[in-house]
Structure 1
């Protein structure tokens, strides 16, 4: 997962500041590094940094990123280690000049792309799939970006929402499967593109439309054009965008995510009701579902866990140790609210189980009578190849244990998950990507990646 934002506004020369605020609103999509590229029509400048947006750019640095068009990125790595070299946007030279590239997603045929890049006599200077894509686009550039992207992107398998900034224009393209969100809007006399609509809200831009699978948008001084450059393969938008990653105030496929998550909770209550005294959420991503669950079961909802707003998202921290420590730093329960009561904890998902186990442990220390755990998504049993950091099946709790074993592992009185059927009903699109829940992968996955990430043990056949 990453967040990308692009803006072109001919009447302004300070769009890097707008990009800064937009990236602030997309910070939940990546906390490892960030960057902004800007152009004044003749030269392209880039500023990148490790860490959060709030500490990455000074006022002086933003003023130096002078221009009417800009591109921004916040990174959460799945391909390529956390390093300044892998921070984006990346800057590439091609026969038409220079472009900056930002990518949200994950390419599954990376070995094939790496071999193509080496065959061109290029030694990549990063370990990310984004650089490989950039080199292939730059070296195979033809008369224009439309023709080039139509030809080169056919060779990319997997998830990619790409935004390019040249010295004069912005190009945005979404993969033909539609794994990752990408939308566009208008701002003053220009236009913007973003991973989520929440970035539009913060700068006052107006949503126009989603960029559909396989489409390319070209934004220039006189307006924009949309072209279908790749044959659509479906609309396999990642279900985890609805469950966890995207902000609840964003709109995806015409639905406010807060309402979708609340509906998850309502359906979960219908499928797995429980007799209890209080419903609590794991903030913030579990709160809408907990409210929906409480309302449907007619059980009071209360904010038991107080969140430290200065701690990042524990699921997307890069190491197990940081995830475990992050739970205690991030959440602290109010013991008086649960002591002696039958408690229902609602969370959006259980992936590795690290956060859930710590949360249950903290709650038992508050001396409740019972703890029941409800999960507003299905069991995560398979690795993601499209941009979520579930590195192997061996890390996933549901790949090694059944529901009863997970219940015992967590130490709760009961445990239930939302069904895949109800997940699809709440999302409202016919074929969201459900691969991590045990459904089929929408694309071909190279066998070496399957052996590495899919197998529970190195000698396991699949």
Structure 2
């Protein structure tokens, strides 16, 4: 499938013991930094456009830096960052230093560690957009570092509220704006404590220490986050040592945490924490929607509700595609997605398993393939048992017949092989398409020409570009009678606005197929009506919004749209018949019951911002503004 981008992955580490403790127990004062590196490397799947690391040193001497940051661009960003950090540490010659000097002066060795992996889903790229972001101040308790896995749908509103307070954000991006919002709230909390302790007779260093010791981050978050519309996990660290991670009230973006008496860890995926800290699954907890995990300067860990938990809309695409399949629940869910497609597959191959070859598109669909095969094998076992029983009743079951029945197996082959990443940018036009057709290679000699049906499963078919330019052409070289492409996810019909790179309406093959059917059947008036309805929605308050784009799909069955997608994505010179099968929404819900966020399939957005933006996306499409989101 074509690569989908996702924003983003987070990792946070908070050490709860003095640095000397880790040196003594684990043999290194780099314990926290090493854990951060592993957490980031094992979430490499979540972002390969850039990465960033931030460290806060709580015991820094005045006149020495206490907030450190390193960022880099490109797929090797993690290695580049840690190579740079290691060079700085080596130059500081920590092997010859007493632990007290390391704790006070050595760069990138501290108590609070923040890591971020980024994919851009907004079209903005470059080092200035790479997390973590910093808001520096001479007062430790006013310095703020921020990163997150999020996308806000109401950036204009947030920006306006920040400017109205008199602030002047230097970059128009949701991260910078949120940084300024939170910084403003943090300043207010500092001012409150400043006046409180001044009235109590404290001054100078004593007052600054009291402020640091008594910061309350809950009101800081509660005064800002209710105005955010989007899916998010926002991670922050104050220069004096306080740390937090906050999850959106619908739980759209994932977050997990673990803590004991030595360490607090937050990450976007559960198995990453399990592996890096070598702890059991039950020890790693999900950060519940609307809740935060907060660690104070003193090391107090608090986990609780901050924003209130709303309707569960955990992202199902996380389970289908983005998150690592090594998570126990995700592995089972992906297998279930494959099993749920068995009835449709059997129907399409006319129940002729003898002349069907089964495979998958490497590599993310492999687990769904296992589930699909298990379901087909169950059907085959029942079929064999029924046949044996019938022949037994008839008295026609001989040893040879029994051996023939028992020898019936599924034909499982590795048909598609992901080849080297070809540099298609050196070509243009048809020559570029010809190069794209060779992104995958095939295994020859396993398909009977003109007789076998070739069934391949993929995790999703979103735009269809790779399917048309590469996969179908590749499979047709094997000369099957029919090619059946199976998607373990339903038809992607609507843009995502919460952190997945699916935002332009005209990109989706399901949308293009529905528009094509409307035109074929003389129903272009539906498009015009949807356009007018979408314009009307722009003036509506949030509680009266509706997704007008649903009307484009309403006249057709899922099967009709799938057939049109197959027609549109099949190259004209293809010899085999081509069929595309999609997962149903019911099948998705059955396989992934705890993550019902399916707005990209159903059009039911979890927040008003999503509904408002999908209507705007259709207006842009209809008016020909194809580059707008």
Taking structure 2 as the reference length, the TM-score comes to: 0.66
Query: Which of residues 337, 354, 362 is equivalent to 1:283?
Result: 362
What is the rounded CA distance, in whole Å, between the counterparts of 2:503 and 2:182 in structure 1? Answer: 28
What residue in structure 2 maps to residue 389 of structure 1?
501
Instruction: Give how far 1:80 is off.
Output: 5.2
Greater fraction strand: 1
Q: 1:65 to 1:326 in 2, by over 3 A?
A: farther
Q: 1:145 to 1:362 in 2, by over 3 A?
A: same
Instruction: Give how far 1:404 is off.
Output: 1.1
Query: Which of residues 72, 79, 82 is equivalent to 1:49?
Result: 72
What is the rounded CA distance, in whole Å, between the counterparts of 2:438 and 2:145 in structure 1? Answer: 37
What is the rounded CA distance, in whole Å, between the counterparts of 2:317 and 2:442 in structure 1? Answer: 26
What residue in structure 2 maps to residue 304 of structure 1?
415
Q: 1:185 to 1:303 in 2, by over 3 A?
A: farther
What residue in structure 2 maps to residue 3 of structure 1?
9
Please, which moves more after superposition, 447-456 or 36-45?
Answer: 447-456
The question of whether the paired residues in 2 share the 8 Å contact of 1:178 and 1:236 is answered with: yes
What is the rounded CA distance, in whole Å, between the counterparts of 2:153 and 2:457 in structure 1? Answer: 33
Instruction: Give how far 1:219 is off.
Output: 2.5
Instruction: Give how far 1:279 is off.
Output: 1.3
What is the rounded CA distance, in whole Å, between the counterparts of 2:284 and 2:154 in structure 1? Answer: 33
Instruction: Give how far 1:446 is off.
Output: 7.0
How many residues are treated as equivalent by the alignment?
445
What residue in structure 2 maps to residue 209 of structure 1?
285
Query: Which of residues 594, 601, 609 is equivalent to 1:445?
Result: 609
Greater fraction helix: 2
The question of whether the paired residues in 2 share the 8 Å contact of 1:186 and 1:205 is answered with: no
Q: 1:201 to 1:90 in 2, by over 3 A?
A: same
Please, which moves more after superposition, 446-455 or 299-308?
Answer: 446-455
What residue in structure 2 maps to residue 260 of structure 1?
333
Query: Which of residues 381, 395, 406 is equivalent to 2:565?
Result: 406
Q: Are 2:140 and 1:28 equivalent residues in the alignment?
A: no
The question of whether the paired residues in 2 share the 8 Å contact of 1:4 and 1:73 is answered with: yes
What residue in structure 2 maps to residue 148 of structure 1?
220
Give per-residue Cα distances to partners, 1:229-260, cap 9 Å, x unaligned: 10211221111001111110135xxx2x1211
Q: Are 2:166 and 1:115 equivalent residues in the alignment?
A: no
The question of whether the paired residues in 1 share the 8 Å contact of 2:605 and 2:611 is answered with: no
Query: Which of residues 164, 178, 199 is equivalent to 2:251?
Result: 178
Give SS of 2:622's match: coil
Instruction: Give how far 1:336 is off.
Output: 3.1
Q: Are 2:183 and 1:74 equivalent residues in the alignment?
A: no
Please, which moves more after superposition, 8-17 or 431-440?
Answer: 8-17
The question of whether the paired residues in 1 share the 8 Å contact of 2:37 and 2:82 is answered with: no
Q: 1:397 to 1:229 in 2, by over 3 A?
A: same
Please, which moves more after superposition, 340-349 or 4-13?
Answer: 4-13
Give per-residue Cα distances to partners, 1:332-389, cap 9 Å, x unaligned: 3223344634210101111111122221111112333321111111110011111111
Q: 1:324 to 1:55 in 2, by over 3 A?
A: farther
What is the rounded CA distance, in whole Å, between the counterparts of 1:23 and 1:331 in structure 2? Answer: 29
Q: 1:369 to 1:55 in 2, by over 3 A?
A: farther
Q: 1:350 to 1:228 in 2, by over 3 A?
A: same
What is the rounded CA distance, in whole Å, between the counterparts of 2:445 and 2:156 in structure 1? Answer: 55
Instruction: Give how far 1:122 is off.
Output: 3.6
The question of whether the paired residues in 2 share the 8 Å contact of 1:394 and 1:456 is answered with: no
Q: Are 2:474 and 1:457 equivalent residues in the alignment?
A: no
Query: Which of residues 272, 275, 293 is equivalent to 1:199?
Result: 272
Instruction: Give how far 1:67 is off.
Output: 1.6
Long gaps (5+) in structure 2? 1-6, 23-28, 61-65, 90-106, 190-215, 378-409, 423-429, 514-560, 571-576, 625-629
Instruction: Give how far 1:413 is off.
Output: 2.5
Instruction: Give how far 1:46 is off.
Output: 0.6
What is the rounded CA distance, in whole Å, between the counterparts of 1:5 and 1:377 in structure 2? Answer: 28
Instruction: Give how far 1:8 is off.
Output: 1.1
What is the rounded CA distance, in whole Å, between the counterparts of 1:327 and 1:372 in structure 2? Answer: 21
What residue in structure 2 maps to residue 425 of structure 1?
590
Instruction: Give how far 1:198 is off.
Output: 3.0
The question of whether the paired residues in 2 share the 8 Å contact of 1:260 and 1:427 is answered with: yes
What residue in structure 2 maps to residue 347 of structure 1?
458
Give SS of 1:258's match: helix
Larger gyration radius, structure 1 or structure 2: 2
